[in-house]
Structure 1
């Protein structure tokens, strides 16, 4: 039951990747949410890349705050593409939108956690209000005791939650939808052998039917999940996303590049 909690089953889940210049992906998510998504996930090359002696490379962790989300009206990405699943015929269309573009912000500020509450309500539970932080922290500690050690299942999700529970933070709930978005993006950057972030507006549009107040993303590459995780914890922007109390859910995906390097993408939701 514990493993199923960490890695939720999705028997009705299907995913189709359509590879083209506009990075189109078609998703059909778990029927429990009862919706299908067809989303364009273009990306932007990062301006900040750092290489370590062990070969691990990471980009700055980024986020979009609730204030930014409230100020930027949601609109489709600037380009869209589609491909028939039964033939090789491909059609593309592009359109420009006058709405302001949602921009990622670096999570690298030393004041990143200033004003963050100790506990936040699950965005899936509309109307939930946390009035007793002591009770909330008690539930966090109790839940942390149920998490396995890395000896049991060494996944990035477990490593992230170990970092959080050591600091009496709520573990992040692994989310199938975010996993698929992260996996698609990790495959794209592995194929290109370049690190970049998904465009914030494209991610927002992909999640338009899923309530969220805050979004974040980390991308990196290295020799293993553990090596990448250790490096992220030594990078303030990536660490700030991992340890942000305002996030409640997480998705992660990996892909192997042509040279054998592992590419990892983490997407956070709160």
Structure 2
């Protein structure tokens, strides 16, 4: 199944996409796609013929974030072997965990916000895991049962704040609109649990990242089980799982985003996004 939300900010309609790509209004079955409703989401639509649900005209309609607002956004650093090589870093022995502030979360076509205090604004196409039910101290074998599905994320980063200002990475990861998410959540059965998915990112039409989830060091089940050892994952929580090579910081010389730049990205089966860098 593919779940999405369509409409103006704060007025989104919960939908599913049928096999033809038509959006169907599921608000008669679930009030919205939120942390409170996610645990019962698949059960609510199970056995319902999508053709019996109202069609939503997608032409010119804003695509919202696929979950209203996650309580928590967790990120895994250096989780692609080829990206670790690009960064000149050793392969991590355990997942590297950091946070993005919940205020970074935004819709897939919302702008990337730029401050005059930024000097090294960067991009990262990533596979996102959306938690479907509470997970605490679970095994890897149990982990997939706790995943609602997968989504597309741009883990936008200000590298000077992340790496040159001391403290933790969250400083360079937590500006508003630094986590465009969506357009959809796709359940794992449609994606073979996110194995071997091509992924890409362009800046102003030029291909920068061209990777595949098969170079992930830690797979989704490992990540969810590992995090659940240290914290309780809640329904709707978003986990950004790392990026392949081709980030601006890895270029020689480095390339940074500037006001007016257009970023496009996608993952096979998870749709695509586009953002323009906009000064606040």
Structure 2 length normalisation: TM-score?
A: 0.26
* TM-score, normalization by structure 1: 0.27
Which has more helix, going by share of residues?
Answer: 1
Structure with the higher strand share, 1 or 2? 2
